[in-house]
Structure 1
Amino acid sequence: MAFDWRNYRCDAAYDELFAASGAPRPAARSLVEYLQSLSPRDLADRRLAADLAIKVMGITFTVYSEGKNVDRAWPFDIIPRVIPKKEWETTEKGLKQRVDALNHFIQDVYGKQQIVKDGIFPAEILAESVNFRKQCVGVKPKHGIWAHICGSDLVRDGDGTLYVLEDNLRVPSGVSYMLENRGVIKRIWPELFQTTNILPVDDYAAQLYDTLVAISPRPGDAPNVVLLTPGIYNSAYFEHAYLAQQMGVELVEGSDLTVGDDDCVYMRTIDGPKRVDVIYRRIDDLFLDPDVFNPDSILGAKGLMRAWIAGKVGLANAPGAGVADDKVVYAYVPQMIKYYLGEDAILPNVPSYLCFDKKQRDYVIANLDKLVVKPANESGGYGMMIGPRVGKEEHAKFKALIEGNPRNYMAQPTLSLSTAPTICDDEIEPRHLDLRPFILSRGESTYVTTGGLTRVALVKGSLIVNSSQGGGSKDTWIVDIDDDTPGVVTSPAAAAQTQSQSQEGTL
């Protein structure tokens, strides 16, 4: 392999490691200097070591392809994404603010719906929400928290602005890969953790466990927490098993749980039934309880909703939290922050056009070739259209979809997502990426991961970073640097040239 920094160009978008001048950004300086000091053979060996570690550690992800479940090794790039600590502190405050407002909103819409009565949030959006659960009306979970675990997707535009792209409040996934990425990167770049002040991420499992314990109906006792999985054929099963193991809790399926006449949940064990206090459920609402939702579901357990409403078990995330996991509802989060918290949003939304509004719908239809069109409740990048990347046939298809169900569609400008150097075959090239931090809410406090899961579009020019559609990932470094640290003035090309000359005849 012949990796060569002299060929790296980052002119088309904001690059996470390099400024437009080609100089490394201050927080990435030590990383870039080190990478540029390596020979192509060294870099290739590190990449091979990472691939081997992923296989040995069994880090996998299931992709659904042609009706089959394909288990594959987790796709990982060894060049980290770097964010300065000072910027991250502001981002962390913005994420906490956002999740706080979203929890207020969910509690409100299942209660008095005051935000609707006050004309801040349109009644028709709520009326047609596919994730509004009438069974949750009048319920108030412990601490008033519905979304205990949230994954908000962040993207950076060409001018460096960090936007919230969407919020995931049903069953957000990916945090295990964030943690495993760090484990792999420590194996292959141990020397960088000695010379760079990289903030740790390894307290997540403990923080998650504390968040779950906080919603136990028996706070005075040692609560019994379980993780409810759909089973081994789910695409995120690796994560389910990983988190259960890291927290030291049982991994269960619906057939392992029963609800007694006392409305308590019990887990089958070889010693007989054992009461369950908290369920971290990784299955969708509609499969949670066949007595209340889908009667054909075998993934959940009969009576779970009854037990939750009676306050005999904690569920995370709470049923019904998905009412805020909607790309149309997303557009109103800045107004929610102002309404519930009396504050301006710290993190901006991507400008959005809501197709249920005729004026905005007409604009979207007239500009399909310039916009990204998304369905309200799909995930994983499915069902969306990137207007500039498709032809007139696809534009006509989405025009019909929008006109047939305006409430279900929204559109946004096509952002020039930021890039980072990524090893692709025999070259180091810029690839677009996003970031999914994870936020844990437990009432009296909120925790945000140090960085998050950086997802990378491995196909050149692609904006689709989702792992379910072939995307990869990077470790995310939050680096604490002195604000007065000067940036390196040497360009990647010049530094690589100097290195090449100094090691001429040895590569």
Structure 2
Amino acid sequence: MKSKTNHFDEMLLATDGVRDPYNKYQRWFSNEDPSRLAKKSKEAEAFFRRTGITFNVYGQEAAQERLIPFDLIPRIISNREWTKLSKGIEQRVRAINMFLHDIYNRQEILRAGIIPIDLIAKNDAFLPQMMGFTPPGNVYTHIVGTDIVRTGEDDFFVLEDNARTPSGVSYMLENRETMLQMFPELFSQNKVQPVSDYPKNLRRSLAACAPVNCSDDCTVAILTPGIHNSAYFEHSFLADQMGVELVEGHDLKVIDGHIAMRTTQGYQVIDVLYRRVDDDYLDPLNFRPESMLGVPGIMDVYRAGNITIANAPGTGIADDKAIYSYMPDIVEFYTGEKPILKNVQTFRCSEPDTLKYVLENLAELVVKEVHGSGGYGMLVGPAASKAEVAEFAEKLKQNPGNYIAQPTLSLSTVPIFKKKGLAPRHVDLRPFVLVSPGGIDITPGGLTRVALKEGSLVVNSSQGGGTKDTWVLED
């Protein structure tokens, strides 16, 4: 068995055989009946449907709840590979937190001329309301999802930093639970590092970020926009797993300078609010006045030091894809170290000479909105028609500062299970990071997203992608 693709195959070698992390799995797989595996695949789909593991698709004529396809071939990462990845992710997350504190306080990186002032001052994600304020424990990004892609044996790149409200951890947990139920023998043969401690670690990490005047038994809650949000399943799942309340904006109000939630015994003060509501909708008194999703006055309570909001308002500035292009400089400026993980080469379309280059090479590039997510609002040049490229060129000319461009990477592949056998598909990886005053905790593995369409580079579930269980081996 050998790789049939020109891309780096994480399981199969270009010559006959498999890569070391997959040795034990391959021996098991070669003795399996394909019809049994096909049956197991249908069982997994039925389990996800029964459990309600769905997401909402927006912006389509028939917006609806959909099941995220699950592929039963795991993605396996060696301990050596994971050690490099986790060190690089930790370094990057440390730098992001230091950057956010600086941007909202002394702004030394701007004074040093590392980042243009306009890139911050004119950025919609920058919140003046956070200026001069330091969150409890000096933590801005309590939960981070760092998107990683791979192009070769030791070539890992950070594709995006998700510092606002990263999603997908519930699928990571459910994927593992499903694999444990379907193939328990695999986990006795392979020493796979566990991920099931994530909810407990999340609860502990959030509690450690409570305001200094909080009692030992602090109250944590999750703020959700409601059942129509695309990630509502995850909000509900995490609240249940952590043993905390899931609340909506209308359940909360300001009482005696604190945020309190309505309960059957009256109102109870909340110390830490894990919010899954965007900045704009968080406080109608400070942001969008028409918002019905947030809590009037919560920013005043926050700035008074009487509640922790995770992630901190204003962290979206670190998600900005134009800021991303400066991340190697940001890492070195704050840590004094060279970045362990590389950035993808990024062209800032706001710069006239760069825009000219991007327009001339649009058919070979990937172009993204600086605040875009979910695979929306982007162009994958090599997969686009001439008409689509021409249409996107007009968008670029009208608002060049809203876009960045990147070369089309040769993303690694991992086989998926098909009736006719294994077929390579492109993947990315979103490891989940927890940050508290006590340090940084990275769950071994994360969510592997896979482009189920042959040749596709878009792995987002909203664009037809699926997920895999991600194994990090112990040795």
State whether structure 2 residue 148 is matched by structure 1 residue 161.
no
Shift, 1:444, TM fit: 2.6
Shift, 1:67, TM fit: 4.4
Shift, 1:394, TM fit: 2.0
CA contact (8 A) 1:132 1:322 kept: yes
Shift, 1:354, TM fit: 1.0
Shift, 1:69, TM fit: 3.9
User: Which residues of 2 match residues 334-349 of structure 1 at below 5 A?
Assistant: 334-349=328-343
CA contact (8 A) 1:354 1:361 kept: yes
Partner of 2:144, secondary structure, is strand
2:100 alignment partner, one of 100, 106, 126: 106
Code of the aligned partner of 1:247: M
CA contact (8 A) 2:209 2:437 kept: no
Shift, 1:388, TM fit: 1.0
Q: In structure 2, how many angstroms separate the alpha carbons of the residues matched to 1:413 and 1:22?
A: 31
User: Which residues of 2 match residues 460-479 of structure 1 at below 5 A?
Assistant: 460-479=454-473
- Corresponding residue of 2:35: 41
Identity across aligned pairs (percent)? 46
CA contact (8 A) 2:146 2:161 kept: yes
Q: In structure 2, how many angstroms separate the alpha carbons of the residues matched to 1:175 and 1:67?
A: 28
CA contact (8 A) 2:34 2:419 kept: no
Shift, 1:210, TM fit: 1.2
CA contact (8 A) 1:212 1:278 kept: yes
Shift, 1:35, TM fit: 0.8
Partner of 1:82, secondary structure, is strand
- Corresponding residue of 2:445: 451
Moved more, 140-149 or 225-234: 140-149
- Deviation string, structure 1 residues 253-307 (Cα, Å, up to 9, x no partner): 00000012x3201111111111111100001000001011011111011111011
User: Which residues of 2 match residues 111-126 of structure 1 at below 5 A?
Assistant: 111-126=105-120
Change (3 A) 1:67 1:316: farther
Which 5+ residue runs of structure 1 have no aligned equivalent? 1-5, 482-507
Q: In structure 1, how many angstroms separate the alpha carbons of the residues matched to 2:173 and 2:33?
A: 28
- Deviation string, structure 1 residues 411-439 (Cα, Å, up to 9, x no partner): 11101111111024544211111000011
State whether structure 2 residue 245 is matched by structure 1 residue 250.
yes
Q: In structure 1, how many angstroms separate the alpha carbons of the residues matched to 2:61 and 2:294?
A: 24
TM-score normalised to structure 1 length? 0.91
Partner of 1:372, secondary structure, is strand
Q: In structure 1, how many angstroms separate the alpha carbons of the residues matched to 2:409 and 2:424?
A: 16
The alignment covers a number of residue pairs equal to 474
Shift, 1:116, TM fit: 0.7
Q: Which has the higher contact order (CA 8 A, sep 6+)?
A: 1
1:330 alignment partner, one of 313, 324, 337: 324
Moved more, 135-144 or 210-219: 210-219
User: Which residues of 2 match residues 71-470 of structure 1 at below 5 A?
Assistant: 71-158=65-152, 160-217=154-211, 218-260=213-255, 262-470=256-464
State whether structure 2 residue 8 is matched by structure 1 residue 14.
yes
- Corresponding residue of 1:502: none
CA contact (8 A) 1:158 1:415 kept: no
Shift, 1:70, TM fit: 1.5
Q: In structure 1, how many angstroms separate the alpha carbons of the residues matched to 2:16 and 2:352?
A: 45
Q: Which one has a bigger Cα radius of gyration?
A: 1
- Deviation string, structure 1 residues 188-233 (Cα, Å, up to 9, x no partner): 1110101111111111111111111012124433001100000011
Partner of 1:234, secondary structure, is coil
Code of the aligned partner of 1:103: N
CA contact (8 A) 1:454 1:474 kept: yes
Code of the aligned partner of 2:411: L
Partner of 1:328, secondary structure, is helix
Q: In structure 2, how many angstroms separate the alpha carbons of the residues matched to 1:292 and 1:283?
A: 14
Partner of 1:273, secondary structure, is strand
- Deviation string, structure 1 residues 304-357 (Cα, Å, up to 9, x no partner): 101100000000000001111111101111101110110000000011111122
Partner of 2:84, secondary structure, is helix
CA contact (8 A) 1:287 1:294 kept: yes
- Deviation string, structure 1 residues 439-458 (Cα, Å, up to 9, x no partner): 11112300111110000111
Q: In structure 1, how many angstroms separate the alpha carbons of the residues matched to 2:289 and 2:183?
A: 51
CA contact (8 A) 1:257 1:266 kept: yes
